[in-house]
A and B are shown apart, each in its own frame.
Chain A
């Protein structure tokens, strides 16, 4: 069999498989809607948290609550600044080639790893700040001694959530690291393949 005839027969065999296409239009509409909802959710959290603290500070007119509101906006600003800086150059591939898309995917993966590190530090900065603020706020009212405060049910909840958060972060980091390693291997493989011919 000649080379062309061989490929032609493979082509016929390949193209004779005609599995019907699932209803993708509906799924794409749902997924697009979900992405918009997530974006709206991020904006709503920003406005809700920042706005909520601001309204509280404005109504109470107490200095420590004003400090809390200012710091909440500070944390929000830092989070948005990092998110935008981290996603810069990761929106789209510079060229429509496999290599360019692969590089974009690698950048996104590295961005995700940076975001994990950043999220870790931001979370603990927020927790330390909030706990310190609450401790000071409650102490001033004379309700709790230090020992009682740090062993309270509320604080046990904070410890549990923090432990879960750290475990989830480590799991996610390991997953993204594996993905990055595969991407780098694939990138090398494709670069080698490009030398052919």
Chain B
């Protein structure tokens, strides 16, 4: 069984069954972390077309970097590292600061929810997304990774910073998020 986005945490690749080829591993990573990549891309790209372009760059970066993956960290850490680095390059080409991608409501609609709940949920997501997008990059990076469920050690591995630095950035980011979201929840 391969590791999944929910359970892989700090697990090393040795713990999971190794894929047989580059293509299979790439496909599996996209399957497991695809939605997480979309959320990550949405925190950097302001429109859905930009988000799709960034997703394509992240996927291409992953495809090119996978053969060089020496399994010194978990696949999840590796994937986020590649994705974040591609996002920085993407951000530099944008003239205006990135804001939350305008999601297509149809993409977000959950048929199991009634319209009021769905609307409230969408508004909450948008409010949080807008606040995350408005954060300075160094805070946005740690916040998006934390929101995806990575722990301090994994975030420090992804970004190449110390765990204490992760903690300090998160504390400041949390304060900023709370202010931007109108005093927290």
Residues A17 and B39 in contact, CB atoms below 8 Å apart: yes
Q: CB-CB contacts of B162-185 with A at 8 A, as 1s and 0s?
A: 101111110010100110000011
Residues B63 and A16 in contact, CB atoms below 8 Å apart: no
Q: Name the CB-closest residue of A to B144.
A: A14
Kindly provide the distance from the CB of B110 to the nearest chain A CB, expressed in whole angstroms.
8
Interface residue tally for chain A (C-beta within 8 Å): 46
Residues B160 and A193 in contact, CB atoms below 8 Å apart: no
Interface residue tally for chain B (C-beta within 8 Å): 60
The answer for the CA separation of A22 and B54 in the assembled complex, in Å, is: 11
Task: Give every chain B residue within 8 A of A97 (Cβ-Cβ).
Answer: 159-161
Do A3 and B174 form a contact, CB below 8 Å, given A20-B107, A99-B160, A196-B169? Answer: yes
The answer for the CA separation of A95 and B178 in the assembled complex, in Å, is: 34
Residues B35 and A1 in contact, CB atoms below 8 Å apart: no
Task: Give every chain A residue within 8 A of B125 (Cβ-Cβ).
Answer: 13-14, 16-17
Within 8 A of A (CB), among B37-67: 37-39, 42, 52, 55-56, 59-60, 63
Residues B92 and A105 in contact, CB atoms below 8 Å apart: yes
Do A21 and B128 form a contact, CB below 8 Å, given A1-B184, A7-B174, A98-B84? Answer: no
Within 8 A of B (CB), among A1-23: 1, 3, 6-7, 9-11, 13-22
Within 8 A of B (CB), among A72-114: 92-93, 95-102, 105
Within 8 A of A (CB), among B122-145: 124-125, 128-129, 132, 136-139, 141
Q: Name the CB-closest residue of B to A182.
A: B92
Chain A residues touching B, majority SS: helix
Residue B89 at the chain A interface, CB threshold 8 Å: yes
Within 8 A of B (CB), among A157-194: 178-179, 182-183, 186, 189-190, 192-194
Residue A140 at the chain B interface, CB threshold 8 Å: no
Residues B88 and A186 in contact, CB atoms below 8 Å apart: yes
Kindly provide the distance from the CB of B8 to the nearest chain A CB, expressed in whole angstroms.
15
- Chain B contact residues, CB within 8 Å of chain A: 26-27, 30, 34-35, 37-39, 42, 52, 55-56, 59-60, 63, 68, 81, 84-85, 88-89, 91-93, 95, 103-104, 107-108, 121, 124-125, 128-129, 132, 136-139, 141, 146-149, 159-162, 164-169, 172, 174, 177-178, 184-185
- 5 smallest beta-carbon distances between A and B, as pairs: A97-B160, A193-B138, A21-B34, A197-B168, A197-B164
